[in-house]
Structure 1
Amino acid sequence: MFIGVDQLRHDAIWPHKALPVETPNMDRLMRGGVSFGRTYATSPLCTPSRGSMLTGDYAFTHGMGTNCDMYHALGRELADPGRLLHHDLGRAGYRCGFVGKWHVGVEKGPADYGFEGDVPPGYGNLAGTDAFKSYLEDNGLGYTIEPELYFNPGRQTLAAGRWRGPQRSTPCHFQSNQIIEMLEGYRSGDAPFFATVQYWDPHGPHLISDEFHRSTDRSRIVPWPNFADDLSGKPRRVKRERDDFYRLHPRTQDELVAYIGYYCDHVAMLDYEIGRLLDYLEASGLAQSTLIVFTSDHGDMTGAHGGLIDKGLPYEEAMRVPMVFSHPDLGSGERSGLALNMDILPTALSLLGVAFAPRQAIDLSAQIRDSGAKGRDYLLAEYHGLRFLYSQRILVSDDNLKLVFSPGDLDEVYDLARDPHEMDNLAQRPERADDLVRLRLALMKETARHGDPLRDCVSKFNGRWRTGSGQFDATAVFEAGRAGS
């Protein structure tokens, strides 16, 4: 059972909770299993991260580096859909079902690849489907939208407001009904199953149902420690995107607290629905025999770093996500090794004893079974742009150093142990030159090892002009010809 959510910060729930939102259900899920406290999104963006979670490959391999429905999309459908994880499970006799957000192709949805379930392709809009409208009509439910906050002048870019209706009238409640109905059908059969529900929540706009509107105590919300960041030492595009793309982003602490409050209310709505699903799994007896995996596709800036909004940024708020593997035989506890949310595929299949082809993701099952098992020395993440094409690579070391490589702008280095809020870019500090060299060498090795198309750029920007990337090299050709003569 793979429970996925959209844009959930790692610090919204246990064990790293920094927000006053009540999340008893996600907290019990995290506490009851083996969690990875340093899990990163493979990319801080929906489509590439979702494609990676479902294939175990980086986006530069599965082909969908940007959101698939953008005008500049790098890929509109998966390059090799045979890599989707449910094919391995299907060959092992599993029934495979999908509920919720797909966003891994604009024309083909899960059913086109053999999943059970009625899920629209692309980003999807559950509220616009006939099934949701019929559900409302059959149950005498209705709602209206009352906007309360916009990110741009002229009532543009809706940020938050009220979903004037009960929780039962929301798409996330309907999603919970759908996955419970699917699980009930699987429970009555003889075959093992893989089922996933991918909630759209708490992705904005934050439209809060009657039961949860202002359910979070705003007086307990503390402004982010990096809200005063003037963005000096960060690439120029960060400030421009904050100031020009979201012109009404939070500028005062009161505005920030108000916006964080909406986010918290939305997280509380989501937590309620996940609680319904967990209660069903326990009451039905499925929890005793089902591996439950939970994570998010990426995080959310939520006004950090001086008012940054949304995702698509290499900072911890958008990159860090919760991740847990829960089964009665696995025990519980937090693991300190570096993990990517795309590690779900090889880890889950390994725990289930299902054979699978090698992936770029790694199998975390040894760390799950043994808290002392060694994990990654370095973690590589990628970003290819959201509103425009923009290549970046993110490297995190096991000793908590972080390099953000931006070939068209400034590089960034942060000491996450000393500076967890990433205020102090160390890339130009002479006293940290050895760290910069080490991180750059590691980035060259990681991009080369994974066949990253950016590896030639990474190497040449850092002084290694013969990279072995396979790209045409006139010098090598000339020297080969001279040697032949």
Structure 2
Amino acid sequence: MNTPDNRPDIVVIITDQQRYDTIRALGSDHMDTPNLDRLVDRGVTFTQCHVTAPSCVPCRASLFTGYYPHTNGVYANGQPWSRTWVDDLRRSGYRTVSIGKMHTIPYDAKAGFDERYVVENKDRYMEGRWFFDEWDKALGTHGLKKQQRETYRLLDDYRDRLGAFTWDLPAALHSDNFVGGVTKWWLESKPVVEPLFLVVGFPGPHPPYDPTPDIAEKYMGRDLPLPDPTAAELDGLHPVWKEKRHHDVEVDHDSVSWKLDPTRDEMHRQRAYYYANVEMIDTQVGRILDTLEERGRLDNTIIVFTSDHGDNLGDHGLSQKWAPYDQITRVPLIISAPERFAGGRQVDELVQLFDLGPTILEWAGITPDATLEAETLNPALEDKPFAGRDAVFCEQGGDVNMTGAELLTMIRTRTHKLVLFQGQAEGQLFDLEADPGETRNLWADDACQQMKSRLRERMLDWHIDSAWKTRDARRLIVSPSDAESLQ
């Protein structure tokens, strides 16, 4: 293992539920994101980065293990995981620190980190409700309780707000401002001799969409891109997604009470608050970058910015995540280290979010485990020939919001997408060149049956290759009762 003393600091910033079309420098003119723009200008942007799971826990378990959900066994939210490749960094001499959301199960599992400052979901109404994280404690010391479902439900217009509420407590105690503030405090206060591996997990823009009033007002005054699903698209949705639409009306997950036919004004407010939350995170990213620069660490730091999945925000008539449309599976991925990688570049080849694992290990001089299903991005970063992946894959087990299917599996190439639902005869097939918005399901189209067969064969090859490659992989799943022995 090559571990020279001048190994880079590595700072990974992960938001929760941030769409790819939320960064001004990448074409989203409705956004103000000067600090993310700064990373784009100085870094390498992967424009076709797709997650391996369309919800929080399985995506993060995949990212930090380097295996697909069907290999590590984490298919849905709430399933236990805590073993990660972060431990390889720690054992190699890195100081490993997590501030904010990681979404390990249990929440406070060490997961390879020397230090953890846990901040979890804004609204934990159904899961981990009485787990008090650092944010809960901070609010409590001020005699406050965070805004969440019980209080939002008291509003007369609760069901019209679609999860959009202003943060009316002190601005510094907003979840994203709090995580940014703790990160700045840690960087300014903690003496670190070893190379640093720092993961900063922002809870937003995951709902409730709760910006402070000033930023909310700013975006409320803007023309914004709004969803406009046609009656034909809604009628043609797969039965699983039709069931989800009705489920989300009946159950207000994450303080989002959905509507089958929201008004334009309601959709505008939801998106305005969501985009405002992204700008709030951008401001905190700027604070982190400035603090690193003030401490003289920025030149030898590799900054990674990404998210665990996106949000439909009404596209396809759907709320939140789980459905593997590009609004969910495609996420921003920016890697900035001008002293190492020529900046201002875009890489358009297909990659998967969990490819960050072996990439980061190589930065630390560690040879990734040969069984990892993730693949290094370093050739692309070093501007060497890079073919990317011929296809990306995504998996999701049945979850609290996805009640109509036990399991879905997606394959996406540059030109087509296929989604299979375990045990169901009907799936989804999209021609991404003719229909980039994924509005016309070609599953039953006679002219598309050959393509459907080719994609199913490619998916079969993927499963066979995966089973063989990971045959000697260590056991990755731990029960909560086992977690303590692994910390």
Structure 1 length as normaliser, TM-score? 0.82
Matched residue, 2:52:
42
In structure 1, the partner of 2:287 is 276
**What SS does the corresponding residue of 1:337 show, helix, strand or coil?**
coil
The secondary structure found in structure 2 opposite 1:374 is coil
Distance 2:42 2:154 in 1: 38
| Equivalent residue number for residue 402 of structure 1 | 417
Residues 375-408 of structure 1 show CA distances to partners (whole Å, capped at 9, x for unaligned) of 11111111112214621111111x3211111232
Q: Which one has a bigger Cα radius of gyration? A: 1
Q: 2:353 aligns with which of 341, 366, 381?
A: 341
Rounded Cα–Cα distance in structure 2 between residues aligned with 1:195 and 1:391: 33
Distance in 2 (alpha carbons) for counterparts of 1:219 and 1:125: 37
Mapped pair 1:193 → 2:196: yes
Whole-Å Cα distance in 1 between the matches of residues 218 and 152 of structure 2?
16
Q: Distance in 1 between matches of 2:462 and 2:241?
A: 26
Question: In the aligned structure 1, how far is the partner of 2:334 from the partner of 2:154?
Answer: 34
Name the aligned partner's letter for residue 404 of structure 1. V
| 8 Å CA contact 1:111, 1:119 repeated in 2 | no
Task: Name the residue aligned to 2:473.
Answer: none
Aligned to 1:115: 114
Q: How does 1:295-310 map to 2 (within 5 A)?
A: 295-306=306-317, 308-310=318-320
Q: CA deviation at 1:251?
A: 2.6
Partner of 1:159: 163
Question: Which amino acid is 1:441 matched to?
Answer: E
Is the 1:110–1:119 Cα contact (8 Å) retained in structure 2? no
- Alpha carbons 2:119, 2:203 under 8 Å: kept: no
State whether structure 2 residue 192 is matched by structure 1 residue 184: no
Q: Measured at CA, do residues 62 and 150 of structure 1 come closer, stay the same or move farther in structure 2, by a change above 3 Å?
A: farther
User: Distance in 1 between the 2:50 and 2:111 partners?
Assistant: 29
Deviation at 1:303, TM superposition (A): 0.8
User: 1:59 Cα deviation (Å)?
Assistant: 2.0
* Contact map agreement 2:152 2:158 (CA 8 A) in 1: no
Q: Provide the residue aligned with 1:32 in structure 2.
A: 42
Letter aligned with residue 199 of structure 1: F
User: Residues 341-386 of structure 1, C-alpha deviation per residue, up to 9 Å, x if partnerless?
Assistant: 1111111222332222131111111122126421111111111122
Q: Distance in 2 between matches of 1:127 and 1:246?
A: 32
CA distance in 2, matches of 1:264, 1:99: 23
User: Per the alignment, do residues 353 and 261 of structure 1 end up closer, same or farther by CA in structure 2, a change over 3 Å counting?
Assistant: same
Q: Which moved more, 1:285-294 or 1:251-260?
A: 251-260
Distance 1:164 1:440 in 2: 50
Residue 381 (structure 2) aligns with = 368
Aligned partner of 2:136 among 102, 110, 129: 129
Q: Residue type of the partner of 1:203? A: H
Question: Do 1:53 and 1:343's aligned partners in 2 also have CA atoms closer than 8 Å?
Answer: yes
Shift in Å at residue 185 of structure 1?
4.8
Q: Deviations over 1:432-472 (max 9, x none)?
A: 233222211111111221129xxxxxxxxxxxxxxxxxxxx
Contact 1:42/1:342 (CA < 8 Å) preserved in 2? yes
Structure 1 counterpart of 2:365, from 322, 344, 353: 353
- The secondary structure found in structure 2 opposite 1:207 is coil
Q: Aligned residue for 1:479? A: none
Give the CA deviation at 1:97.
0.5
- Change over 3 Å in CA distance of 1:426–1:158 after alignment to 2: closer
Q: Compared with structure 1, are the counterparts of its residues 113 and 350 closer, same or farther at alpha carbon in structure 2 (3 Å cutoff)?
A: closer
Letter in 2 for 1:180: K
Query: Which residue number in structure 2 is paired with residue 220 of structure 1?
Result: 223
* Matching residue of 1:434: 450
Query: How do residues 38-187 of structure 1 correspond to structure 2 at under 5 angstroms?
Result: 38-68=48-78, 75-78=79-82, 81=83, 84-106=84-106, 109-111=108-110, 113-119=112-118, 126=133, 129-134=136-141, 136=142, 159-185=163-189
Cα distance between partner residues in 2 of 1:326 and 1:231: 40
Matched-pair contact (CA < 8 Å) for 1:172–1:199: yes
CA offset digits 1:191-247 (Å, max 9, x no partner): 111011111010000122133122214441132354655334432021121134226
Give the CA deviation at 1:109.
1.9
Structure 1 64/142 Cα, relative in aligned 2: closer, same or farther at 3 Å? closer
Q: Aligned partners of 2:184 and 2:168: how far apart in 1?
A: 25
Equivalent position amino acid for 2:245 in 1 = R
Q: Report if aligned partners of 2:24, 2:30 keep a CA contact under 8 Å in 1.
A: no
Letter of the aligned partner of 1:325 in structure 2?
Answer: I
Q: Rate the CA distance shift 1:255–1:245 in 2: closer, same or farther, 3 A.
A: same
* Contact persistence 1:234–1:410 (CA under 8 A): no
Contact 2:136/2:145 (8 A) holds in 1: no
Contact 1:88 1:356 in 2 (8 A): no
DSSP 3-state at the match of 2:118: coil
Query: Aligned partner of 1:349: which letter?
Result: L
SS at match of 2:110: helix
What SS does structure 2 have at the residue aligned with 1:380? strand
**How many angstroms does 1:53 deviate by?**
1.3
Give the percent of matched residue pairs that are identical in Structure 1 and Structure 2.
28
What is residue 253 of structure 2 aligned with on the other side?
none
Deviation at 1:99, TM superposition (A): 0.8
Partner SS for 1:21: coil
Query: Partners in 2 of 1:278 and 1:206 — Cα distance?
Result: 25
1:184 aligned partner, one-letter code: E
For structure 2, the 5+ residue unaligned runs are 1-10, 121-126, 251-257, 469-487
Partner Cα separation in structure 2 for residue 309 and residue 144 of structure 1: 21
| Distance in 1 separating the partners of 2:116 and 2:156 | 37
Partner in structure 2 of residue 444 of structure 1: 460
Gap change, CA 1:316 and 1:356, over 3 Å in 2: same
How has the CA–CA distance of structure 1 residues 215 and 142 changed in structure 2, closer, same or farther, with 3 Å as cutoff?
farther
> In 2 relative to 1, CA 220–322 (structure 1 residues): closer, same or farther, beyond 3 Å?
same
What secondary structure sits across from 1:220 in the alignment? coil
Higher deviation after alignment, 344-353 or 333-342: 344-353
Name the SS for the 1:189 alignment partner: coil
What is the rounded CA distance, in whole Å, between the counterparts of 1:118 and 1:44 in structure 2?
A: 25
Aligned-partner Cα distance in 1 for 2:210–2:132: 14
By how many angstroms is 1:268 displaced? 1.7
Quote the Cα distance in structure 1 between the aligned partners of 2:326 and 2:361.
28
Quote the RMSD (CA, aligned, Å). 2.9
SS in structure 2 opposite 1:403?
strand
Aligned length: 434
1:290 aligns with 2:289: no
Change (3 A) 1:218 1:395: farther
